[in-house]
Structure 1
Amino acid sequence: MISKPLIEAIVAHYAQPLEGRHGLAHWARVLENGRLLADRTDADTTVVELFAVFHDACRQNESFDPDHGARGAELARRFHNEGLLDLNDKQLALLTHACEAHTDGLITGALTVRVCWDSDRLDLGRAGIRPAQGLLCTGAARDSEIMQWAGERSLTGHRPDLLATEWGIVLKDEKSA
């Protein structure tokens, strides 16, 4: 589980709107997608969960930002060196590679990395993109029920309860509702 202090430290570095297309609701959906996929595979759940909050954490804009994954990986390395992440060397290598290459369109590699990529790709509906089954890396992500579940949540901008229950965050327009 992503701790509240860790999410607060990551958010402190996030330069984009928390409510934006790559913001906290996206991270939370990617986290829930990743947890579901990790439960159906042998992926390392810790790495999958951390990917959800680091992969877009260092975006400089909401559009074309080709180096954002590398910056997110560097933030993860920094937090690991500062003791905010408790990962072994293999886990850190998987996390940083998953972040660095998550926009490269790759579909092969270590299972945990592929689950990370799938968890993000299943949330492409927020950008008007329906993920192609052939670009999903795992059988679990290609399952039609999972694709439909994740796709509907992405298209509607679903805000998972974990934003409040796990991270203690209420996004702006939720407060006024």
Structure 2
Amino acid sequence: MTSKSLMTFPLILPTMPITSQLINQIKQHYGLDWYGTHGVVHWSHVYENGMRLAAQDGVNRKVVALFSVFHDSRRLNEGVDDGHGPRGAGLAGDLRDLYSITDQEFDLLQIACRLHTVADTHRDITVQACFDADRLDLGRVGNIPDPRYLCTPLAKEREILDWAYNKSLIRKFPCDPFGLSDIF
């Protein structure tokens, strides 16, 4: 096959599991200000960061996408909330009938949600990308992401750090948050 013939086939990305129905169900379970520090705008930034980081070999886009909406979905407050990761993982389990992923992908999602605030890193590149996608949005709380606390090579690149930090300072939705045009 020549490169010209490859161009005739469209690039097909895996179907992303986030739907408006899923977002609406998560919203029903969310107990804080929907637009607060750890709310849906943050999740949309984590999603956008994660989709950039998913360009790395071995990163599962579906898991990173789902992590973005579940990791802080069960916070009880905007401050220190030690159990929010496991509670978010629990909600991901409760709502699993609303999205389609394999058992292996679900296990990675559970790990990423449970450990995102307590582990420095993880051996799996997908879990690492989840951690980094969240950490790259620290500008929203007045912190500059430090490459020493990031896991993946791409997240540590100056271009990515600058892009994510500048985006985190602007508290608004990206165009088509979560890849959905009908959400807001």
2: distance between equivalents of 1:162 and 1:96?
26
Query: In structure 1, what is the equivalent of residue 88 of structure 2?
Result: 72
Highest RCO, 1 vs 2 (Cα 8 Å, sep ≥ 6): 1
2: distance between equivalents of 1:64 and 1:154?
20
**Does the 8 A contact of 1:107 with 1:137 survive in 2?**
yes
Query: In structure 1, what is the equivalent of residue 11 of structure 2?
Result: none
Task: Tell whether 2:66 aligns with 1:46.
Answer: no
Query: In structure 2, what is the equivalent of residue 156 of structure 1?
Result: 170
**Structure 2 vs 1, CA of residues 165 and 110 (structure 1 numbering), >3 Å: closer, same or farther?**
closer
Alignment of 1:121-132 (within 5 A): 121-132=135-146
Query: In structure 2, what is the equivalent of residue 63 of structure 1?
Result: 79
**Does the 8 A contact of 2:20 with 2:183 survive in 1?**
no
Query: In structure 2, what is the equivalent of residue 86 of structure 1?
Result: 100
Question: Could you give the per-residue CA deviations for residues 116-137 of structure 1, whole angstroms, max 9, x where no partner exists?
Answer: 0000000011011111101100
Deviation at 1:19, TM superposition (A): 1.0
Partner SS state of residue 150, structure 1: helix
**Does the 8 A contact of 1:4 with 1:167 survive in 2?**
no
Q: Which runs of 5+ in 1 are unaligned?
A: 171-177
Query: In structure 1, what is the equivalent of residue 49 of structure 2?
Result: 33
> What is the TM-score when the length of structure 1 is the normalising length?
0.90
Q: Which runs of 5+ in 2 are unaligned?
A: 1-15
Query: In structure 2, what is the equivalent of residue 116 of structure 1?
Result: 130
2: distance between equivalents of 1:71 and 1:84?
18
Task: Tell whether 2:32 aligns with 1:16.
Answer: yes
2: distance between equivalents of 1:87 and 1:105?
24
- Please, which moves more after superposition, 47-56 or 87-96? 87-96
Deviation at 1:109, TM superposition (A): 1.9
**Does the 8 A contact of 2:47 with 2:64 survive in 1?**
yes
> What is the TM-score when the length of structure 2 is the normalising length?
0.86
Partner SS state of residue 142, structure 1: coil
Deviation at 1:163, TM superposition (A): 3.5
User: Hey, which bits of structure 1, 4+ residues long, moved more than 4 A?
Assistant: none
Give the length in aligned residue pairs: 168
2: distance between equivalents of 1:99 and 1:26?
15
Query: In structure 2, what is the equivalent of residue 173 of structure 1?
Result: none
Letter in 2 for 1:146: I
2: distance between equivalents of 1:123 and 1:20?
14
For the pair shown, which has the larger CA radius of gyration, 1 or 2? 2
- Please, which moves more after superposition, 110-119 or 38-47? 38-47
Identity %: 42
1: distance between equivalents of 2:110 and 2:95?
12
Structure with the bigger percentage of helix: 1
Question: Could you give the per-residue CA deviations for residues 137-159 of structure 1, whole angstroms, max 9, x where no partner exists?
Answer: 00010010000000001022242
